Structure 1
Amino acid sequence: MNPTPTRSTALLTDMYELTMLQAALADGTADRQCAFEVFTRRLPNERRYGVVAGTARAIEAVRNFRFTAEQLDGLDFLDARTRTYLENYRFSGQIDGYREGELYFPQSPILTVRGTFGECVILETVLLSILNFDSAVASAATRMVTAAEGRPIIEMGSRRTHEDAAVSASRAAYLAGFVSTSNLEAAARYGIPAGGTSAHAWTLLHTDADGAPDEKAAFRSQIDAQGVGTTLLVDTYDITQGVANAVEIAGTGLGAVRIDSGDLGVLARQVRDQLDSLGAYDTKIVVSSDLDEFAIASLRSEPVDIYGAGTSVVTGSGAPTAGLVYKLVEVDGTHVHKRSRGKASHGGAKQALRACRSTGTAVEEVVWPIDCPAPDLGGVLHAVDLTVPLMRDGEPVADLPTLTESRDHLAAQLVSLPWEGLALSRDEPALTVRFIGL
């Protein structure tokens, strides 16, 4: 599957990146060999880990970061020399980092971009906009998947965000373990299973000759069109009557009923009892209505079969960004770093591994210079490499994982965390990051 339509991504940037480039071309520093790093200084409140997402989209964006003549005509704040540089711009450097679906923690070297200052500095905004959004959504979605304890979750948040962001959010949620999306563009572009039946408007549409609500007519029409395996929305009017009408029209083979309002736990129990009393033992219960990981966790003991999540996943569950930054860490082989209060960074291009016990449980992350041999863990722990090649000489590596492979990888990484690392309401990271030789 082609992950994104081929188009120039060159204007998905900030003006100051191009003004820095112009100044660097003027003073001769544009060709200095540099390394930039994507990392986060801290996790959002109550998060114990983050999920790397958007890597494939980011690499594709770098590949398509090429200025068109029309774009250059609009950059009238730049001099002729800078526009000529941009006309011929092609990223030719190296990118290494954590694969998509990997877990990260404060100071994890998620992405390392190496090349000249000129070719690396102008990639900051496009890389961060993709990685911040996708990683925030995937991190929120993964917490929901953990809270659901194996019950399926449907992504249905397209109407709560920008139309392009909706597609990216669907992809990130699927990476995290959601089973399907309501967004057809995401389904077509990324091969994500699509799902959906009807909204309250469908039920409201159906009235009798006197204009009175006719819920049975709405259910009958939906079943005629989609079969008895469909999901009927039963809470447009009275939910008890809605369930009775649903089973009367569909029979005991009805696929599912959906509850979209009210006290979901109480209603799920009532609906389960009613369905069973009517003989619809196999009819599933789907719940939706502004669910986040905490609401899902509170419903674990209730007879809920499927969750539908929207607003809280596409907005990153109250954390619309992962807090990732893109910082210069090396110039001509010399480590550089900020010393600002609260914003200090570790200099040097880096790579990382995860130290694990023989059981597979992760203990810590270890970070060291990118061109040095891996540190000795002493034989007690074994190392799992985190940093992998993503681009070489400006071209994506041939064996980048697919979305499905990244999805499976993330599921495996969650199992490797210490059990307390999956807690929803603890502030400290699940793992610490240790630096060696930096």
Structure 2
Amino acid sequence: MSASTALLTDRYELTMIDAALRDGTASRRCMFELFARRLSGGRRFGVVAGTGRLLSLLRDFRFGDDELRYLRDENVVSRETLAYLEGYRFTGSITGYREGELYFPGSPILTVEGTFADAVILETLALSVLNHDSAVATAAARMSIAAGERPLAEMGARRAAEDSAVAAARAAYIAGFGATSNLEAGRRWGIPTMGTAAHSWTLLHDSEEDAFRAQIDALGSDTTLLVDTYDIETGVETAIRIGGTALGGVRIDSGDLPIVAAEVRAQLDRLGATGTRITVTSDLDEYAIAALAASPVDAYGVGTSVVTGSGYPTAGMVYKLVARQGGDGGWVAVAKKAQDKGSQGGLKTAFRRLERGVAFEERVEIADGFEQAPTAADYPDARALQVPLVVDGEIDTAHEGPGGVAAARAHHLRVREEMPIRALALSKSDPAIPTVFVDAGD
């Protein structure tokens, strides 16, 4: 078994289970829902990411000897609860939006059904994964839209915690980036990796010429040379003199990029290196990328901005109880009613309604008594959004590993094409399509 993920949680989840085991409510059937009340930063859509990671972490959500010893030594829960946790396995079911799917305020991104003890304990794990990964994916999607057909590489590992960096590379790839500099992300998730040399490589050598010559000897003439360690114009001249007019590319990491890129392109063309590509880096975000749309740039490398959600490092999702088993054994819809932090109780079924292939509404049906949940057949103009992820404790492996990442990426690029043109703008605004809640049968 891999390292346990059971303590990636908050103490109050275990103390609630402890109390529920005492009063007999731990086995009461419950339904929790993960959703976002609003989109961070006035963005027009969000991107679901992290689902496959969550399922992999759920597989290792077990309380082994070390975890139980810690809980006992810290007097977190009673002896009876320790005995319950020793045998804990999630035996409930989870449905949710596919990874890579777009979401809007109120979208039922995950629905977790099981006993109270089964489901409440997953709150922190689910939120920590999806809040981080979806924030990164949403920012990455905006950068991908701004970049158009030009490739994007994620290179932000040095701006994030080590595990977060791997997760961020995965989320960025799902949302449209083409490669990452992070080797662990490449190994673990099958993401293409890229990278050549930093400024330290040039500074190591006695001259820029020596550095370029050594890099080409090692990596071939299709490599990309970093030309701004000293003087860019001189760096470009040296790069072509050493690498020839068939040099793969040059990278610019400083300066007023639109102006510098135009000057470098003109210089490369004068030198006969018309096929040499220009990659730009230097603290790019979606707005800087959009500003370079008319510049002769061939590719972008993005670091800090993508791994931090471009200013919004969390998606603001919450995990709320929306239904529980009543005294008669039937379901009772429940919801928090606090001002500005309320929720909609009941089982939700979500559809994206389309007209001529363009989305115009996120329709969320709330079933009456959980016996009238609609299906796709009820909406010939709509696409059903929820899929089974876990059924009676059995995890659907199709969403895990490199295969799950590739499927999520393909799904995201496909569903992004459904959005109306206003969804592609970078300015702050209302969500691209409204979320409409309807009682089933109405």
For normalisation by structure 2, the TM-score amounts to 0.94
Q: Which amino acid aligns with 2:196?
A: T
Shift in Å, 1:403: 1.2
1:369 aligns with 2:366: yes
Tell me if the contact between 1:354 and 1:365 (Cα under 8 Å) persists in the aligned partners.
yes
Query: Partners in 1 of 2:223 and 2:383 — Cα distance?
Result: 44
- Given that 1:63 and 1:394 are in contact with CA atoms closer than 8 Å, whether structure 2 keeps it comes out as no
Structure 2 residue aligned with 1:39, among 35, 38, 49? 35
Q: 1:95 to 1:307 in 2, by over 3 A?
A: same
Cα distance in 1 for residues equivalent to 2:60 and 2:395: 11
Residue 197 in structure 1 maps to residue 193 in structure 2? no
Residue 433 of structure 1: which of 428, 432, 435 is its match?
A: 435
- Could you tell me how far 1:349 is from its partner in structure 2? 2.2
> In the alignment, does 2:341 pair up with 1:348?
no
The equivalent residue for 1:396 is 395
- Could you say what secondary structure the match of 2:9 adopts? coil
Q: What code does the residue aligned with 1:69 have?
A: D
Asked whether the 8 Å contact 1:137–1:172 carries over to 2, the reply is: yes
Aligned to 1:23: 19
One-letter code of the match for 2:41? N
Task: Report the Cα distance in structure 2 between the residues aligned to 1:292 and 1:252, rounded to whole angstroms.
Answer: 31
The residue number in structure 2 matching 1:211 is none
CA distance in 1, matches of 2:294, 2:346: 49
Deviation at 1:143, TM superposition (A): 0.3
Residue 49 (structure 1) aligns with: 45
Residue deviations 1:313-367 (CA, integer Å, cap 9, x gap):
001111110001000000111000011110010001212011111x210110111
Q: For the residues of structure 1 that align with 2:35 and 2:335, how far apart are their CA atoms?
A: 13
Q: Could you say which residue in structure 1 is the equivalent of 2:335?
A: 337
For the 8 Å contact 1:63–1:395, the answer to whether it is kept is no
Amino acid across the alignment from 1:192: I
Give the whole-Å Cα distance in 2 for the aligned partners of 1:424 and 1:320.
Answer: 17
User: Is the contact between residue 375 and residue 384 of structure 2 (CA under 8 Å) also seen in structure 1?
Assistant: no
Match of 2:70 in 1: 74
Counterpart CA distance in 1 for 2:366 and 2:42 is: 30
1:376 Cα deviation after fit = 8.9
Query: Is this contact kept in 2: 1:235–1:259, CA < 8 A?
Result: yes
Q: Offset at 1:402?
A: 2.0
Query: Could you tell me which residue of structure 1 aligns to residue 328 of structure 2?
Result: none
Structure 2 residue identity aligned to 1:365: E
Judge conservation of contact 1:128–1:325 (CA < 8 Å) in 2. Answer: yes
What displacement does 1:406 show? 1.1
For the residue of structure 1 that corresponds to 2:432, the secondary structure is: coil
- Cα distance, 1:404 vs structure 2: 1.1
- Return 381-390 or 109-118, whichever deviates more: 381-390
> Mean alpha-carbon deviation: is it higher for 100-109 or for 421-430?
421-430
Question: What corresponds to 1:83 in structure 2?
Answer: 82
Answer yes or no: is the 8 Å Cα contact 2:100–2:408 preserved in 1.
yes
SS at match of 1:169: helix
CA 1:378–1:349 in structure 2 vs 1: closer, same or farther (change >3 Å)? closer
Q: Is the 8 A contact 2:104 2:431 kept in 1?
A: yes
Which stretch has the larger CA shift, 426-435 or 323-332?
426-435
1:315 aligns with 2:303: no
Deviation by residue 1:277-323 (Cα, 9 ceiling, x = unmatched):
00000000000011100000000000000000000000111111000
Q: Does 2:145 align with 1:146?
A: yes
Instruction: Report what 1:382 is aligned to.
Output: 381
Separation in 1 of the partners of 2:291 and 2:316?
28
Q: CA deviation at 1:377?
A: 9.4
User: Structure 1: any 5+ residue segments left out of the alignment?
Assistant: 208-213
**Separation of aligned partners in 2, 1:307 and 1:407:** 19
**5+ long unaligned stretches in structure 2:** 326-330
Distance (whole Å) between structure 2 residues aligned to residue 217 and residue 397 of structure 1: 53
Deviations 1:49-92 (A, max 9, x none): 00000101111222211100111011032110110010010000
Deviation at 1:46, TM superposition (A): 3.0
Counterpart-to-counterpart distance in 1, 2:293 and 2:123: 41
Indicate the RMSD between aligned Cα atoms, in angstroms. 1.5
Give the total of aligned pairs.
426
Query: 1:93 is matched with which residue?
Result: 92
Letter of the 1:397 counterpart: D
Identical pairs, percent: 56
- Looking at structure 2, the residues matched to 301 and 398 of structure 1 have their Cα atoms a distance apart, in angstroms, of 43
Mapped to 2, the partners of 1:434 and 1:289 lie a distance apart of 41
Q: Retained in 2: the 8 A contact 1:97–1:351?
A: no
Amino acid at match of 1:286: T
What residue number does 1:286 align with?
Answer: 279
One-letter code of the match for 1:416? E
1:299 to 280, 292, 298: 292
1:234 corresponds to which residue?
227
The counterpart of 2:57, out of the listed 55, 61, 79, is: 61
1:378 Cα shift? Answer: 8.6
Aligned: 1:248 with 2:241? yes
For residues 396 and 195 of structure 2, the distance between their equivalents in structure 1, rounded to whole angstroms, comes to: 37
Aligned partner letter, 1:422: L
TM-score by length of 1: 0.95
Deviation at 1:422?
1.2
Q: Is the 8 A contact 1:46 1:424 kept in 2?
A: no
State the alpha-carbon separation in 2 of the partners of residues 350 and 105 from structure 1.
14
Output the CA distance in 2 between the equivalents of 1:436 and 1:397.
30
**Aligned match of 2:416:** 414
- Rounded to whole Å, the distance in 2 between the matches of 1:328 and 1:20 is 13
